[in-house]
Structure 1
Amino acid sequence: MAERFTLFYNDYSICSIMVRFTIAVANQAQSAHVIIDEQPVDIQHGGQLSEFYLCEVNPKGTVPVLKGSKSQLEAALTESLEITYFLAEQYPSLFPNRQIDQIKTLLAELHDINYFSLTYTHKPQRAADMENAVHQVLADPKISNHYRSALEYKLKVIRATRAPALTKEMVETQENKALAFLSQIEELLAASETGKDERGTGGAFWIFGTTEATALDAHLVPFIARLVDVGRGSMLSGKNRVLAYAERAWETHDWKQVMQGRKTVYGTYL
């Protein structure tokens, strides 16, 4: 019998999209080994600040989160990369043996990029807005002490991670990381064009010429989409293979199933 889990996510959270796209391509490659019930969290309107979410799901108040019973998961998984590694135990196609080390290295580099910095570069008030949302809930004298402590912890998380991410120096650092990473992908795609994919035909649909998307593909495609959606398409200048690769992926059934015609950023951002 397939095991059942709950994925807490948001439609416009880039890390949520990465995990959901990973699940979609994994299920496409193989029959479902696990059943994942999806539970949306409305982070645009404070859903991540609810007492249930902060006290029962994720004290950091972020998405995505994968939860299961104690026998399935000793603790909830609160990072997209660790969720992906867990999924790979069920779906080995996410980490093909021949490329596993390279995929892990590149995924680590991709997740070392601060997506918040690249997304809200021109909206520095976003960090303050997040703090103010917590203060509004804290202003209610009727909330429990347990909930108040959880909100105060969430406030510390915001102050430690969000405002510092939007300094000029930090943004420049993340831009350079992203550009260097995309250059690596461009080189990989160029190399795959001279080889053969696993079906023996020339060229490649996915980065390593595999017939199915790997975990790297599943995380990279949303990242490229985010860059385009926030007006950073110029970062793809000179990287024609990367853009063509992403455009092909955006036309797949799995991507369309996950995105349902949405962009990777909430409507009011645009």
Structure 2
Amino acid sequence: MASTDYTLYYNTWSVYSQMVLLTFAFRGQPKDAQTEMAIKKQEVDIFKGAQVEEVPVLTNSHVLPKPIADSLDITYHIAKHYPSLLPEEKKHEIIELLRKPAEAYAQKAAVEAKIAQPGISERYRKALEFKMTIVQNEKINGVTPTEIETQKRNTTTVLDKIVKLYDSASGPWLWGRTSPTALDVHLAIFLARLHDVGHAVLVPEPLVAFYHMTRETKEWGNVYQGRKTIIGV
């Protein structure tokens, strides 16, 4: 029986929620029986009183002094219990690379995809359009062509660093490991999001194989259930 029961508040279409859900799915073996985690999942509707920024949130009144409301912090907390996610010899490199990818433009694309859905109510559409205004003004700085090109260059820079860590001949995961780290998990979702928003061309060829490999795992299938990373594609 798990010693610590948590509640994870998430939304299916929040990329940050997906990162936490897939990290837990790939958690591996616990450090010991006492540190094994049990997580109850509670879905939050981000268009009925909540925002994308409010999920995921991990709570446990007995263990946590306050809820954890950042996807990376939740990832690190899970990794304390499941050390294969953050192996000591790669810890600093993984943490540094996990900070890099930005998702603001992908968030805009997710909202756009929802607005484009046929059959949604006018009230819902207006709510989405209002959310798009917030995303546009506060998250993406207008999404000017210059900003988009900057984000593409940043993505290419990060992926060029990561691709050097991948050698499928040595093992299925980064550094030739036989089990995924937290970086593998977040990378898989980042690559999938690039595909889903029409930027697959930014993915280096070796990481295309990595992307397809992760999508064929049972862990990916259990989390995504055949869905894309964004709605409406």
TM-score w.r.t. structure 1 length? 0.72
| Alpha-carbon separation, structure 1, partners of 2:213 and 2:84 | 20
Does residue 77 of the first structure (1) align with residue 65 of the second (2)?
no
Q: Is the 8 A contact 1:121 1:171 kept in 2?
A: no
Residue 102 (structure 1) aligns with = 93
| C-alpha RMSD over aligned residues | 3.2
Task: State whether residues 136 and 143 of structure 2, in contact with CA within 8 Å, keep that contact through their aligned partners in structure 1.
Answer: no
| CA distance 1:167–1:72, shift in 2 (3 Å) | farther
1:67 to 59, 64, 70: 59
Question: How far apart are residue 36 of structure 1 and its match?
Answer: 0.6
| Contact 2:104 2:140 survives alignment (8 Å) | no
Alignment of 1:107-186 (within 5 A): 107-110=98-101, 113=102, 115-120=103-108, 123=112, 133=127, 161-162=138-139, 164=141, 166-186=143-163
Cα deviation per residue 1:198-248 (whole Å; 9 max; x = unaligned)? Answer: xxxx52200121221100011110110011011111112xx2110101111
Deviation at 1:118, TM superposition (A): 3.7
Map residues 226-265 of structure 1 onto 2, 5 A cutoff. 226-236=193-203, 239-265=204-230
Assess, with a 3 A threshold, how the Cα gap between structure 1 residues 158 and 100 changes in structure 2: closer, same or farther.
Answer: same
Name the CA shift for 1:90/1:13 in 2 (closer, same or farther; >3 Å): same
How many residue pairs are counted as aligned between the two chains?
A: 221
Give the match's secondary structure for 2:26. helix
- Secondary structure (helix, strand or coil) at the match of 1:204 reads coil
In the aligned structure 2, how far is the partner of 1:179 from the partner of 1:230?
15
Q: Which runs of 5+ in 1 are unaligned?
A: 55-59, 137-153, 194-201
Separation (CA, whole Å) in 2 of partners of 1:75 and 1:121: 32
**What letter is aligned with 2:91?**
I
* Cα drift, residue 119 of structure 1: 4.8
State the Cα deviation string for residues 110-167 of structure 1 (Å, max 9, x = none).
Answer: 3xx2x121453694998xx99x63999xxxxxxxxxxxxxxxxx9xx75763352623
Secondary structure of 1:246's aligned partner: helix
Bigger Rg over Cα:
1
Structure 2, unmatched stretches of 5+, are 116-122
